[in-house]
Amino acid sequence: MFFTLFKKELFIEFRTKEVVLSMLIFGLSIILAFAFSSNVSKVIVANYAPGMFWVMILFVTTLGVHRSFSYEKEFDAFSLLVGSPIDRGMIYLAKWLSGSIFLTIMEAIIVIPFFKFLLIELPSNFLLFSMTSILINLAIMSVAILVAGIAMRASLSEVLVPILFFPLVSPVIIAATKITSGILSNDPYQLWQIWLLIVVSVIVIFVLAGYTLFDFITEE
């Protein structure tokens, strides 16, 4: 059943491409705003680049996760989904993994323009940067999907999602900034491993919470 739900999420998005395209366009707009408004030296930009990157991802995720639930809000399709004889926790897991995939695809497209427009060097250990980014994406989406599920039935869900999401995900964004800064500076793993452990902890806690509580969150 999980794979059926997972394929449904992927099929809808790859057919319409609304979520990835909206996230991509929004992300490129933020990059251009950063690039044309930062009239400082390359050293200062490089120091602030990790924070700027993950703040951009934060705003892009907010847009993407809201649109991912907009499909079910049309014609009250989500009520039909939760009324079907399936474990509602599987709905959370399917949306979490599919959302992480869409966020990773968007990052893969946007990471090169981000570094090029800001005139800073790409990470020398790009494989390590990519692997940690995937872990961070999983942590961000584990929080985002849970928050979007809570706010989905609200009349002003587009306002409620960022209000709930930003405070909860702030530890992940701080940890992501520290991890990326350490990788860009070629710091030893021991200097930023604690931040990676925070990211892994958030994944475990929120995935377990989402799987357990999604049954209650989706009640009418």
Contact 95, 50 (CB under 8 A): no
Q: CA–CA separation, 49 vs 32, rounded Å?
A: 13
Q: Does residue 173 contact residue 55 with C-beta atoms inside 8 Å? A: yes
pLDDT of residue 79: 66
Indicate the SS3 state at residue 190: helix
The angle formed by the CA atoms of residues 56, 59 and 64, to the nearest 5 degrees, is: 120
Is 148:65 a contact under the CB 8 Å cutoff? yes
Could you tell me the mean pLDDT of each successive run of 10 residues in the chain, 220 residues long?
72 69 83 78 80 90 76 64 71 87 88 86 87 95 88 73 90 94 89 94 94 77
pLDDT of residue 174: 95
Provide the H-helix boundaries in the chain: 2-16, 18-37, 42-73, 77-83, 88-117, 126-151, 157-184, 189-217
| pLDDT value for 13 | 67
